[in-house]
Chain A
C-alpha cells in the first residue's frame, strides 16, 4: 500500500484570508460597486422636524433639474402590495423585523425620516435636486430625551405577552436583598447612544430584472432575511428575489435589519424601471440604520466583609422608537456571571421620537457589563480586596440562573493568562499610587460573556472538473473571515489542500443560513461545512464504487482525494480519476443541513472573555491614553488564530471607543443629532489604539458542535469599556459612571 503523507492540519493554523488578494487590490466588490447598464443614482431627502405631519411638499424644481428621472414621495409613491407596517391593530406597537415602509403616509416619526427620494443620472445631479425639494410641516411636540422619559418606561410587549420571555423581571432569592446587606453599594450608570459606523456607508443597488423579479446588491448581514423582508413587502415568492452581499464593508449589527432606505431604493427602481443605486451619507448613518440605544442603569450590590456577593439588583431603561420595540439582553450577564444567592433584574423601554435602534456589537451585554463590571470594581474597592481576587471568590462552577452545568468554562484560565500578560501584580489597591511624571497609571479589568448560539445551516458541495471542491452557503462575511474559516474546516474534513477549495457566500440563492450575528456563524455554518464535505466524500465513494469494488467496501473516512484522483487510503491501485467520476450520471453535488441537537437542554453554553487595561491619565489635562490592552478568551476551538486574534483586537478597539469617545448627541430642542460626522462623533484612530495582546484558552467545547467552537465577535468587546473605566479609577480615584470618559469628567 502506498501511504500518502497526511495533509497538514488547517484548523487552528494562522492561514491568510482566502479573499485577502481581492481586498488589497481593490477587486473586492461592495454593494454600490456593481456596474449595471442604465444605472441611476438616488438621494434621500430627510425630514427637518422630529414629529408631526407633512402638510406640503414642493418637488417641481427638483423634477425640472437636469438629469432628474423621478422625485418620489408619499404623494406619488406606488404602494407595495405587502402587509402594512402598522398591522391591523394600531394600538399594538410593531416588534422587530419589518422594514419601515417609506412614503406610506404624511406622518413624521423622527428627525431625518426619509420624506422623498430623488433619482437622477448621476450622484451630482441627484444630490443637487434633492436640495431643491421643499417641505412644510405641522409640527408636534417631541420627546428625544431618555432621562426625561424614564418615568414612562414600560415592560416590552413581548414580555407582557409571554411570561417565559427573558425580558421579563427576574428574581432568585429575595427581591432587592442588597438593601439590607452588610457592605452595600448603589450606583447609576449611563451609556449614551453609540453608532455602528462601519466604514462602508450603507448602500444598495436595486434592480427589477422583470416586473416580478428583483435583484438586490445590498449591505446585509443576512441575505435570506433581506430576501424574506422584501419578498413579503412586494408580495413576491421568495425565489423571485435575489440578494447579493459578496462583500460587506463592516456592519457590527447595523445590517441585521431591513431599513427605510432599502425600501426607498426598491420603490424608486420600480418607478424609473432602471437599476437604482443609493448610498447613505455619513449623517444619514446616524438616523437611518440603527444605533446602540442610550441606556440608563442602576445597580445595587451587597457582599459579606470577606468578599462573597450576597445580592445584586440590576435595572435598566433602554431607548426605542415609537414604531418598533427594540430589546436587547442588557441584564443577561448579571443573572449568570457571579455566585449571588439573591438576584433581581428589571428591564424597561422608553419610546422616543427617534429612529429604531439595532443590536450593536456585544448588544445589550456590552451595555450591561459596563454597569456590572464597574460595580464589581467598586465593591472590591469598598472591601479592600483585589478585583481579580474578588471575582475568583464569586466564580460560578455552574450556571446559577438555569441551574445547569456549563458546557465548558475556562474563565479562570483566561484570568491567569491576562493577569500575567498585563502585569497585574504591579497594580496597587490604592488609587493614584503609580505615576510617570504628570501621568497617573492605573490597571483595570472587565469580564464578558455571550451565549454560544448555534442555528441551522445548509452547505452545498460539489467536485468541479478542475479538481476544485466548490462549497456554497447563503451566509455572509462582514469581516471576521467566514470564507477562510470554512475553507480550513473543509480542507481538514476532505483531507485536501485549502487552495483546492472555493467557499462562496453572500448570495440568497445559495443553500440557506441564518444572519451573521450573535457570534453564531462558525458555530452554525462550520458543522454544516463539515457535514457537507463528509457527504461529498461519501457520494464520490459511491460513484467510484460503481466501477471499482475497493470503494464499495471502503469507509468514507478512508477515501483520499489527491492530484485529481480518488483512492482508498492513498493506495494507487484503487485510483479513479475525477474526470471519470464527473462523467457519471447525476453529478457530484450534495447539500447537507446541520442543526443543533438537544445539548442546549442539558448544558448552559457561553463564550467568556476578560480584558485587562493599563491606562495613563494626564493629571492636568485629564487626557486618557490606553497604553496596553490584553484580551483573553475562552471561545472554544480557534479555527484560525490570525483572523480570530484580529477579531479580538478589533473588539478591544471598539471598547476604547465606547469607553473614551463615542457619544451621539441630540439637541433635544430640535430632536436632531448635533454629531453628524467623524469630526464630532469620534471613533478610535491609529493613535488611540495600543498594540492589543490577545490570548485564547483554545479548548474545544464538546457540546456546541463537533468542531468545539463557541464564538468570538461579541465577547471581544463585552467588558472592555468597564476594564478601561476601572483602570481610570485605579489611576485617579475618580469613578466615571457615565460614558464616554472625556477629559472634562476628570479635571
Chain B
C-alpha cells in the first residue's frame, strides 16, 4: 500500500456526504411548504436518507499510512470501521467486549482493543493494523517469528497476538517468560498455541531488532 497517499473511501467521502446533506436540507425546507399528505408520502421514502445524513459525522484519520476522509456513524466501532468500511479484515472480531484481544491495533503506537473504541474518537490519529505491519513484501520480525515458531493454529487470533506482541516489547514488558505471559494475557488463543507465541516473542526480544 502506498504511503501517505490521500485516499477518499469510495461512496463514503466527506465531500459526498456534505453534498447530499445540502441537497436533503433544501428538500426539507421545500417540504415544510407543501401540504401534509405529500410530506407524509415523501417522508416514508426520505426518512431513512435524512436519518443517514444526520447520523454520520466527518472523520479524518490515517490507517497504515493512508489518509482517509470519511463520514461515519458515531456508534461505529473502530473495529467495524476497519473491517466493513475499509475492508481491512485482518483485524478480527472475537467478542466485541475487549475481552479477547483479536481486534488489537496500534493507535499512535499504543495497542488498543479496536472493538472498545469508536472510530470517531480517532480524529487525526495514526492507526496501524496487521496489514500495515510488514514493510512491503518484507515481513515484520514478529511475523517471521510467528511463522517460524508456529505461533498459531487457526490463525484467527494471530493478527491481534502479533500487534500485542510488538507493543509488549515496545512497552518494555517482555523481559522474562513470566512477564510476557502476564502482558499478553489480554489476547486469547483458544487453539492454545501460547507456548509457541511466547517463544516467538522471546526470539524477537532476544534478537534486539527494533520493533
Contacts and interface: CB of A to CB of B under 8 A. Distances in A.
Q: Which of B84, B157, B194, B197 has the most CB of A within 10 A?
A: B194
A649 B192 contact: yes
Contacts of A687: 181-182, 185
Nearest to B97: A677
A478 interface: yes
Interface string A54-82: 00000000001011000000000000000
B152 A23 contact: yes
A246 B186 CA distance: 27
Contacts of A460: none
B188 interface: yes
Contacts of A279: 93
Given A26-B129, A26-B130, A123-B84, A250 B154 contact: yes
Interface in A301-341: none
B89 A66 contact: no
B8 interface: no
B153 A22 contact: no
A479 B155 contact: yes
B153 A650 contact: yes
B191 A250 contact: yes
A691 B177 contact: yes
B156 A124 contact: no
Interface string A676-711: 011100011111010110000000000000000000
A29 B185 CA distance: 25
A69 to B, nearest CB: 11
B98 to A, nearest CB: 9
A37 to B, nearest CB: 12
A603 interface: no
A200 B154 contact: yes
B180 interface: yes
Interface in B105-149: 129-131, 133-134, 139, 143, 146-148
Interface string A254-279: 00000000000000000000000001
Contact of A124 (B75, B139, B192, B197): B75
Interface string B46-76: 0110011001000000000000000001011
Interface in B63-103: 73, 75-76, 80, 83-84, 87-97, 99-100, 102
A479 B146 contact: no
Contacts of A190: none
A684 B187 CA distance: 10
B189 A199 contact: yes
A317 B48 CA distance: 54
Given A66-B51, A678-B95, A26 B188 contact: no
Contacts of B97: 282, 677-679
B28 interface: no
A199 B92 contact: yes
A33 B184 CA distance: 26
B148 A16 contact: yes
A478 B194 CA distance: 17
Contact of B182 (A199, A651, A686): A686
Q: Which of A199, A281, A480, A650 has the most CB of B within 10 A?
A: A199
Contacts of B92: 30, 199-200, 249
A66 B191 contact: no
Contact of A122 (B84, B91, B130): B84
Name the interface size band of chain B. 35 or more
A114 to B, nearest CB: 19
Interface in A644-668: 645-647, 649-654
B17 interface: no
Contact of B192 (A22, A122, A247, A684): A684
Contacts of B204: none
A649 B52 contact: no
Contacts of B31: none
Nearest to A277: B84
B95 A21 contact: no
A481 interface: yes
Contacts of B129: 26
Q: Which of B180, B196, B197 has the most CB of A within 10 A?
A: B196
B167 interface: no
A652 B92 CA distance: 25
A248 interface: yes
B191 A678 contact: no
B193 interface: yes
B162 A24 contact: yes
A200 to B, nearest CB: 4
A642 interface: yes
Given A67-B48, A686-B184, A650 B191 contact: yes
A252 interface: yes
A90 to B, nearest CB: 38
A683 B189 CA distance: 9
B150 A643 contact: yes
Nearest to A247: B155
B73 A25 contact: no
A27 interface: yes
Interface in A558-596: none
Contacts of B150: 16-17, 20, 642-643, 645-646
Nearest to A198: B190
B184 to A, nearest CB: 4
B51 A686 contact: no
B94 A281 contact: no
B188 A683 contact: yes
B195 interface: yes
Contacts of B99: 282, 677-679
Given A123-B80, A200-B92, A686-B194, A20 B147 contact: yes
A197 interface: yes
B60 to A, nearest CB: 20
Given A24-B162, A66-B55, A249-B156, A35 B87 contact: yes
Given A67-B48, A686-B184, A23 B192 contact: no
Contacts of B198: 686, 691
Nearest to A678: B99
Contacts of B139: 21, 24-25
Contacts of A281: 96
A597 B189 CA distance: 38
Contacts of B147: 16-17, 20-21, 24
Given A686-B194, A689-B192, A198 B154 contact: yes
Contacts of A649: 192-196
A201 B152 CA distance: 17
A239 interface: no
Contacts of A20: 146-147, 150, 152
A201 B184 contact: no
Contacts of B73: 122, 124
B195 to A, nearest CB: 5
B118 to A, nearest CB: 11
Contact of A685 (B52, B146, B185): B185
B185 A686 contact: yes
B197 A686 contact: yes
A272 to B, nearest CB: 15
Given A23-B155, A643-B150, A686-B180, A33 B192 contact: no
Contacts of A197: 190
A694 to B, nearest CB: 9
B53 to A, nearest CB: 10
A645 B97 CA distance: 32
The 6 A-B pairs of least Cβ separation, nearest first, read: A26-B90, A653-B192, A249-B156, A479-B153, A23-B155, A650-B192
Interface of A: 16-17, 19-30, 32-33, 35, 64, 66-67, 122-124, 128, 196-201, 247-252, 279, 281-282, 478-481, 642-643, 645-647, 649-654, 677-679, 683-687, 689, 691-692
Given A250-B153, A686-B197, 11 more contacts: A16-B148, A16-B150, A23-B158, A26-B88, A66-B47, A66-B55, A122-B84, A124-B73, A643-B153, A654-B192, A686-B194
6 contacts: A24-B130, A24-B146, A199-B94, A651-B192, A652-B192, A678-B99
